[in-house]
A and B are shown apart, each in its own frame.
Chain A
Amino acid sequence: MNARPRLVETDHSATAHVAFRSVSHTYPARAGHPPVHALGPLDFNLNRGEFLSVVGPSGCGKTTLLEVLAGLVKPEGGTIEIDGRAMTGDVPDGVGVVFQEDASFPWLTVADNVAFGLRRAGLPAKEIAGRVDYALDFMGLNQFRTAYPSQLSGGMRQRVCIARTLVTRPSLILLDEPFGALDQQTRLLMGEELLKLWRETGATVMLITHSLDEAAMLADRVAVMSARPGRFIDIIETRWPRERDSSLASQPEFGVLTSRLWSLLREESRKAMESSGARSSGATAR
């Protein structure tokens, strides 16, 4: 296999879309709970147009990482630069986020869900209609445009959420275990659609997942996080071609890659499991 592990260091040669500089976060103490050092310090660059997967044991700060980058949580230490400008603590321009939980609005039809963000942005009706049509077509939702989310399956609802993000034409798409609640077959197909979307939009994608297969299949680079406080222990380049799909899984390199990821993660997952007591951990490899 030709994917070689590299030391985690800031890569100045590639064009950085996002630069993390000593970013760390500690959740303050709450009633009966000590403060939790969840993340970092992290130093790394997210390159423009790349697809980065982040894997790590459960509770290692993956979601904190995403929320910090999305502007939902203000990091306690360090700075994040997007296009060379330091984040101010608000939700940055051009960021789209898809969450694990169903975040579709149950009181709106599929089409209205998808159009929601655009209407807020005050785009002309014609422009909105065009973009919504495109997104619905792209995600295979056209025949459900007048349906309500409660009439759709979990996978379809997640498509609605992806379409709703897609229409805003984000340059940075953050996904927090978006397929975590779906069955394996649906996951694979959704993964392929995600790849299609990534190729089509040219956006930078950061995917948080607990599935090593998913991480290995989709990404250009896979970042492996340590148990809490989450740091990157390694970032592995997959060197897949840009045109790729789930048939990668049958190649020998794929097996080498996932077993390498697992050997990196195994010890960390054990640590995470022990520190969280007897609670069973969902961070094992699939």
Chain B
Amino acid sequence: MSRVRLIQTLLIGGSVALLEILCRAGVIDHFTMIPPSDMLLSLIRIARTESWFWPDVLYTLRNLAVAIVIAVAGGFLIGLGVHAVPRLRRCLDPLFSSYYSVPTFVLYPLLIVIFGIGPASLIVMGALFGVVAMIVATLTALDRIPRALIKTARIMRLDALRGVLMVRLPAAAPHLFTGLKLAVAYCVIGVIAGEFILATAGIGRRLSFSYNNFDNQTMYGVLLLILVFAATLNALLNIWEKRLHQRWYR
């Protein structure tokens, strides 16, 4: 284990241990937070006994998957289109760069009016939140394809489609992947936050439901699940990204 890894592990482990001690000692009262070990036990209990658990988890995962596909594929295609028309790009660039300063969630009530309370609103919320990260990454990726590779593709007489598939896309892959990673993270936030605000099912809705009912045990169990899920997803994508970058730019 490297030194940095060791410090990271100690930092996280120490924080969890400190929380555990503070909760157990009564410094943090039980009604504010339950000890981390109880969060884990609570998560195991609800996963094993509660009938809503798996349907809610699957509901969220399904909506999330659809939102990610829309954000990534849509963001890529929009990025491709915008990149091809420099004038359009100059118009849109300020919008893209200020997009994440707007609290997108203020649109959620509007989405519910348009799509109703259900998967569609959540999917659109998640996709809206993630798509611009993918668009911006696609633009960057296309900008950074080395000119020599594009010229090589022409010298080898690849037609337009092959040139894109066999040279431009692989050359752009590392930057595209960075966009994918960001889009996934934003979609997770969008979908779960949407559920938290208003939904009929889903893990985010279960979080707000237990919160509103003073059901601390369930709330913290679900909270732990969301944290672990998001962290794991991010870690997996990071490993994949690192491998890609290593091969391209070592």
Binding site for B on A (CB under 8 A): 67, 70-72, 90-91, 95-97, 99-103, 105-107, 116-117, 120, 148, 150-151
Contacts and interface: CB of A to CB of B under 8 A. Distances in A.
Chain B contact-residue range equals: 20 to 34
B149 A120 contact: no
Contacts of A102: 146, 148
Contacts of A148: 247, 250
A150 B148 contact: no
A151 to B, nearest CB: 6
Contacts, number: 57
A150 B249 contact: yes
Contacts of A95: 155
B248 A103 contact: no
Given A103-B146, A103-B148, A120-B162, 20 more contacts: A70-B155, A71-B154, A91-B154, A91-B157, A96-B155, A97-B155, A100-B148, A101-B147, A101-B148, A102-B148, A103-B152, A105-B167, A105-B170, A106-B171, A107-B171, A117-B156, A120-B156, A120-B157, A120-B166, A151-B250
B151 interface: yes
Chain B facing A: main interface SS: helix
Chain A facing B: main interface SS: loop
A67 B171 CA distance: 22
A116 B156 contact: yes
A150 B250 contact: yes
Contact of A107 (B146, B154, B155, B173): B173
Nearest to B158: A120
Interface of B: 146-149, 151-152, 154-158, 162, 166-167, 170-171, 173, 246-250
A96 B162 CA distance: 19
Contacts of B249: 106, 150
Given A101-B146, A101-B147, A107 B247 contact: yes
15 contacts: A71-B154, A72-B154, A91-B155, A91-B157, A96-B155, A101-B148, A105-B149, A105-B170, A106-B249, A107-B170, A107-B173, A120-B162, A148-B250, A150-B247, A151-B250
Contacts of A103: 146, 148-149, 151-152
A88 B147 CA distance: 23
Contacts of A90: 157
Contacts of B171: 105-107
A148 B154 CA distance: 22
A120 B156 CA distance: 8
Contacts of A70: 155
